[in-house]
Structure 1
Amino acid sequence: MSMPEMPKWYGDDGQIVSCTEKVKVMTENMTELYQTAQDAFEDALLMGCGEAQLRAYLQELMAGLENPYRKA
């Protein structure tokens, strides 16, 4: 499996993020995140960690991200 195709990005208001520079930064960030996660995943497998547990933890890790910009 490889990195999924980049989606069109939308704001919470439903408007598409169309600024070329913003889309470029998102693509770079998501590509870097994918590669870092892939490297960590492979390292853990080589160290004998279970694949199912690794996948579950990575999902938990992403779900636990906090939005510091959330409006009160």
Structure 2
Amino acid sequence: MDKSKNKWPAWIRDDKSVVSCAEKIKVMKENFDELKQLSQDAIEDGLLMEVSEKQMKEALHQMVDDLINPYLKNK
């Protein structure tokens, strides 16, 4: 996979301020690089098993939509 395509966004907080800590940015980049590679591997495996590409992408989108925030503050 071409790593040069892994340009992630500037990370922002809920108050719209930018996360500027180099270590936090490094961890986010590593996490997202890893997620992208795992997702790519899952797509390729599914395609080799003749699963619909459209269905695979829909399942990945649904998985993201189903993620929960365990730190959600009660307001």
Query: Which TM-score bucket, shorter chain as reference?
Result: over 0.9
In percent, how many aligned pairs have the same letter? 46
Per-residue CA deviations over 1:5-56 (Å, capped at 9, x if unaligned) read: 2100000111100000000000000000000010011001100100111111
Report the TM-score, using the length of structure 2 for normalisation. 0.89
Report the TM-score, using the length of structure 1 for normalisation. 0.93
Structure 1, unaligned stretches of length 5 or more?
Answer: none
1:4 shift after superposition? 4.7
- Give the length in aligned residue pairs: 71
Counterpart for residue 7 of structure 1: 9
Counterpart for residue 25 of structure 2: 23
Instruction: Write out the 4+ residue segments of structure 1 that deviate beyond 3 Å after TM superposition.
Output: none
Structure 2, unaligned stretches of length 5 or more?
Answer: none
15-24 or 2-11: bigger deviation: 2-11
Alignment of 1:1-72 (within 5 A): 3-72=5-74
Q: Secondary structure at the match of 1:70?
A: coil
Tell whether the 8 Å contact from 2:12 to 2:18 is kept in structure 1 after alignment: yes
CA RMSD, aligned part only?
A: 1.2
